C-alpha cells in the first residue's frame, strides 16, 4: 500500500473534508479507524497536511490513563474580534472558558528537556479565551477516544479575549459569570482541571519536543476549561467574566 493510500491518510481525507465543509458524519470506516493513540496522532498530522493551513494554537491537558490530550487549532479558526463566525448547531455554539498562553519565543525540538522555567520564560502574555467546540462525527460520544483524538478532540476553533495579569492567571479556581444580551445570567463555579493552569503547557512543550516538532512564537496554548462546556446563542452578545481577571464579549454568527 502506498503512503498516500494508507489507512491514516484515508482517515485524514475524510476528517479534513468534513472540516472544510463544516460537516458531520458517521464514525470512520473500520478499515481506517484508529485503535491507539499513536495512530490517532498520525491521522491528526495528516489532517493538518491535507488542510494546508498554519497551526495557530494548541489545546492540551495532562495525560491520564494512557490518554494523550493534544490537538492543533488552525489559524483560519482563531478569532479575536467581538463578532465571530462559527459553526452553530441548532442556533448555538458550544464553548469552554479557558486561559490562552501566548508564546513570545519558540520552544523547538532539541536534545535537552524543557524545565517549567524554560516554558515560563517563553510566555509573552496570558489571554482570556473560549474554545469553540464541534466534532466531525455526528455522534462523538459513540466514537472511541482514539477516534476523537484523531479528529482534534472536538475542537472547531478559538476565540481570544483580553490579556490579563500573569500571576492572577495562575489561579485554579474562579467564578465564571455568563451574561447574555437578553439579560439572562449564569454564575458557574469555575475550577481548572489542574492545580496550576500552566501544568498541561509544560507537558505539551516536552511532548512535542520528544516528537521532534515543538511550539512556535505567536502560538496560543489552552490547557483546560474552568467550567466544562455550555452553549451560547448565535446573534446575541454574550459577556463572560473570569473572576477578577477580566471579561470578554463575543457575538457569534453562523459560519
Give the pLDDT band of residue 65 (cuts 50, 70, 90).
confident
Q: Domain for residue 3, yes or no?
A: no
| Angle at the Cα of 69 from the Cα atoms of 157 and 136, rounded to 5 degrees | 45
Q: Domain for residue 115, yes or no?
A: yes
Q: Domain for residue 2, yes or no?
A: no
204: domain CATH number is: 3.90.850.10
Q: Domain for residue 158, yes or no?
A: yes
Domain that holds residue 117: 55-254
Q: In this predicted structure, what is the pLDDT of residue 201?
A: 98
Are 185 and 209 contacting, i.e. CB atoms less than 8 angstroms apart?
no
Q: Looking at the 3D structure of the chain, how many domains does it have?
A: 1
CA 75 vs. chain centroid, Å, equals 12
- pTM score: 0.95
Q: Domain for residue 157, yes or no?
A: yes
Average pLDDT for residues 158-171, to the nearest whole number?
96
Q: Domain for residue 165, yes or no?
A: yes
| Angle at the Cα of 250 from the Cα atoms of 247 and 251, rounded to 5 degrees | 155
Q: Domain for residue 31, yes or no?
A: no
Q: Tell which residue, 175, 150, 165, 152, has the closest CA to residue 241.
A: 175
Tens of pLDDT, residues 117-162: 999 999 999 999 999 999 999 999 999 999 999 999 999 999 999 9
Q: In this predicted structure, what is the pLDDT of residue 2?
A: 40
What does residue 226 show for φ and ψ, rounded to 5 degrees? Answer: -85, -10
C-alpha cell, 120: 515560563
Which residue's entry shows cell 482541571? 193
Q: Domain for residue 95, yes or no?
A: yes
Q: 3-class DSSP state for residue 90?
A: coil
Amino acid at each position: 500500500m502506498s503512503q498516500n493510500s494508507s489507512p491514516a491518510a484515508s482517515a485524514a481525507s475524510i476528517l479534513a473534508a468534513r472540516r472544510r465543509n463544516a460537516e458531520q458524519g458517521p464514525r470512520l470506516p473500520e478499515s481506517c479507524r484508529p485503535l491507539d493513540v499513536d495512530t490517532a496522532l498520525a491521522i491528526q498530522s495528516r489532517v493538518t497536511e491535507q488542510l494546508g493551513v498554519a497551526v495557530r494554537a494548541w489545546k492540551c491537558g495532562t495525560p491520564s490513563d494512557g490518554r494523550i490530550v493534544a490537538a492543533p487549532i488552525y489559524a483560519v479558526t482563531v478569532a479575536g474580534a467581538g463578532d465571530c463566525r462559527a459553526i452553530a448547531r441548532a442556533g448555538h455554539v458550544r464553548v469552554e472558558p479557558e486561559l490562552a498562553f501566548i508564546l513570545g519565543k519558540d520552544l523547538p525540538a532539541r536534545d535537552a528537556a524543557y524545565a517549567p522555567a524554560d516554558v515560563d520564560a517563553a510566555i509573552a502574555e496570558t489571554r482570556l479565551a473560549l474554545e469553540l467546540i464541534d466534532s466531525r462525527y455526528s455522534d462523538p460520544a459513540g466514537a472511541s477516544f482514539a477516534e476523537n483524538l484523531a479528529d482534534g478532540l472536538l475542537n472547531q476553533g478559538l476565540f481570544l479575549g483580553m490579556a490579563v495579569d500573569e500571576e492572577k492567571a495562575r489561579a485554579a479556581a474562579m467564578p465564571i459569570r455568563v451574561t447574555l444580551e437578553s439579560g439572562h445570567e449564569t454564575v458557574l463555579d469555575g475550577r481548572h482541571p489542574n492545580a496550576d493552569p500552566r501544568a498541561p503547557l509544560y507537558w505539551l512543550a516536552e511532548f512535542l519536543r520528544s516528537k521532534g516538532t515543538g511550539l512556535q512564537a505567536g502560538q496560543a496554548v489552552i490547557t483546560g476549561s474552568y467550567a466544562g462546556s455550555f452553549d451560547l446563542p448565535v446573534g446575541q452578545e454574550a459577556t463572560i467574566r473570569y473572576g477578577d481577571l477580566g471579561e470578554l464579549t463575543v457575538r457569534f454568527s453562523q459560519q
